[in-house]
A and B are shown apart, each in its own frame.
Chain A
Amino acid sequence: MSLVFQSLVLGVLMGGLYALLAAGLTLYFGVMRVVMIAHAAFLVLAAYLAWAFTVGTGLDPMLSLVVTVPLFFAVGVGVQRLLVARLRPATMTMMSVLLTFAVALAVEGALGLVFTGTHRRLPLSYAGARLELFGASVALVKLIAFGLAVVTLAGLHVLLKVTRFGQALRATMQHREAARLLGVDTDRVAGYGFGLGLATAAVGGTALALDATIYPSLHWAWIGPLMAIIVVGGLGSVGGAAIAALLLGVGQNLLQLPLGTTWAQTFFYAALFVTLILRPQGFFGGRLAQRF
């Protein structure tokens, strides 16, 4: 019983992290109908920057966010403006996959060139620290990662719901042409939406680096699960992706008990196929997916 509870706790923590890692993907899809394959590569890039920052300065990796979040925002706007916006609208979805795939390859190659293929892990004094929570052990680093996810997603929620920019962004996501008619500068908003998505990658990558080893080809391991999450959640729905991430994280962790690690990983893909057969628009919102 305690093992089940322990797995449940681990699953919730992991699901929270998944939600953070997938948040950007829903933003890109929402504003541009773009499936951003390179998101995972940018997560790994952020993780490497956090690692280099901590090893270089001896400060806590969290402080690297001061640099990486604005940097990634700018890169995101740049990617949208200089690359994605150049694609023909008719073939946008398909070609953007290839374009962002190309970006992912370039990022992986560059990481290999700069940091070599050596596996790195953040040297943290509190890596093994833990708290007791109703009889379950909770690692401090996992709790911090979960906290980062909660804070980021809450901030994103407030930004989207309360601010003027958020309203413009949501309008663009729902119906681009209508938003433009209402006077929203949709091109600019799409650029910022991309920047925002990539900024979440900076936070997500740092959270990821707290409790895992990193290496340049790591992003391949993340592409599949993250894609499954956004489809199950409903493409373009930030809230849906978060719920899906939590459910899939918990499900994967509990399934590991009877099935073992490998077969539990297939849970993501099983959920993906079931979603597409039963409800292609996703289980939690996301009207967009019907058309795409």
Chain B
Amino acid sequence: MKAVGLVVLAAFLVAFPSLASDPFVLSVGVVIASYAVLATGWNFVGGFTGYISLGHAAYSGLGGYATGLLILRAGLNPWVALVVGALVVAVLAVPVGIAALRVRGASFVIVSIAVVLVLLLVFQSWGSVTGGSDGLRVPRPFDADVLRPEQHQRFFHLHAVLLGVMLLCWWVIDRSRFGMGLKAIREDEDKARSLGVPTVRYKLAAFVVSAFFTALGGGLYALWFGFLDPIFQFSILVGSNMVLMSLLGGVRSLFGPLVGAVVVGYATEFSKAQYGDTQLHLVAMGVLLAVVVLFLPDGIIPALRGLVARLRPGQASIREVTQEELVRR
């Protein structure tokens, strides 16, 4: 039955471009797919280790710039540039991860914010390499005769494939020894260490994997959007969006970030179309984030699952309770 669900989801992803009523809807689909990729990328560190990074825009932005600069300055093929760029970002993430993960909690969040801000300053002022505040135009990966709607369609599928690969990775890690160790860190880091989990190495590995996938997502978006401006790339708001989406869907669930991205992405478009030009969208985002943090810290998926479980008749009197759930009480 689970397989059926997955097949339906895959079929939808394949068919979506032909269901979309016009190229605009298709472009919204690409944006939401990109949100899902970024949020899922974030969740490799946020979900597994419980370390909440508000600065993942650093890695999506770096991924975009690395891809663009490798194409423009090194003349690489766009797809090669995308992968090489993400690898470069993963390497860069190692020292950042070492500095950030030395400290727990508060300092980690502060570092994650600081990384974005410092990158904004660097990319803004190092104009000779990055294009500076003029921005950087990323060339199209497809020929000029591939029209814009066709581009949207191809990029939607590329995002879907990337998302599929990431979800598979998540699923594999979730079931591995590595994943167990990471989850132990999330629940109680000191205990995990005393049980022999190499916490520093595990955290760093998760952090680098997360940066790598986030950079791929950022690079793919840059190839689609075609223009990079440091103030929009290295923005705390972009990073906080990834957190909101993951948290809303549920950081412990495989599909949590995807669900969150769809909900937030759709709500954003909808409220903009309905309510237009006020600053209310900021208030709404703030309130939504606060509600999730206060009342749904585990996200919609576990909340719904809990609801369904309670409503279903004939529950066994003795329920299986996982370690995870016990700790959460």
Contacts and interface: CB of A to CB of B under 8 A. Distances in A.
A–B contact via C-beta, under 8 angstroms: yes
A283 interface: no
A93 interface: yes
A106 interface: yes
B289 A113 contact: no
A105 B285 contact: yes
Nearest to A116: B279
Contacts of B283: 105-106, 109-110, 113
Interface stretch (A43-51, A94-102, A132-140, A150-158): A94-102
B52 A224 contact: no
A54 to B, nearest CB: 23
B247 to A, nearest CB: 7
Contacts of A266: 118, 121-122
A31 to B, nearest CB: 13
B286 interface: yes
Contact of B279 (A97, A103, A216): A216
Interface in B77-131: 99-100, 102-107, 109-111, 113-114, 117-118, 121-122, 124-125
Interface residues of B, number: 43
B282 A272 contact: no
B289 A101 contact: yes
B243 A231 contact: no
The range of chain A's interface size is 35 or more
B302 interface: no
Contact of A98 (B51, B99, B102, B289): B289
Interface in A73-101: 83, 86-88, 91, 93-95, 97-99, 101
B52 A273 contact: no
Contacts of A95: 52, 293, 297
Contact of A97 (B52, B282, B286): B52
A196 interface: no
Contacts of B103: 276, 280, 289, 292
A117 B277 CA distance: 12
- Tell which of B278, B280, B283 has the most Cβ of chain A within 10 Å: B283
A268 to B, nearest CB: 8
Interface string B125-146: 1000000000000000000000
A83 B292 CA distance: 12
A269 B247 contact: no
A101 B279 contact: no
A181 B193 CA distance: 30
Nearest to B236: A220
Nearest to A97: B109
Contact of B114 (A83, A105, A227): A227
A33 interface: yes
- Tell which of B109, B240, B247, B286 has the most Cβ of chain A within 10 Å: B286
Given A94-B50, A266-B121, A269-B118, A231 B281 contact: no
A110 B247 CA distance: 24
B280 A113 contact: yes
A231 B114 CA distance: 11
A262 interface: yes
B286 A105 contact: yes
Given A101-B240, A109-B283, A289-B103, A87 B109 contact: no
A83 B297 contact: no
Contacts of B105: 33, 93-94, 292
B54 interface: yes
A269 B117 CA distance: 8
Contacts of A88: 297
B287 interface: yes
B121 A265 contact: yes
A133 to B, nearest CB: 32
Contacts of B111: 272-273, 276
Contacts of A262: 121, 124-125
A58 interface: no
Interface string B270-311: 000000001111111111111001100100000000000000
Nearest to B103: A280
Contacts of A109: 279-286
Nearest to B247: A98
A107 to B, nearest CB: 8
A277 B111 CA distance: 11
Given A95-B52, A109-B279, A113-B279, 10 more contacts: A87-B293, A101-B54, A102-B289, A106-B290, A110-B283, A112-B279, A227-B114, A265-B121, A269-B117, A292-B107
17 contacts: A29-B106, A83-B290, A83-B294, A91-B297, A95-B297, A98-B289, A102-B286, A108-B282, A110-B279, A112-B282, A220-B236, A228-B110, A262-B125, A263-B121, A266-B118, A266-B122, A273-B111
Across chains A and B, which 6 residue pairs bring their CB atoms closest together, nearest first?
Answer: A109-B282, A112-B279, A105-B286, A106-B286, A109-B283, A102-B289
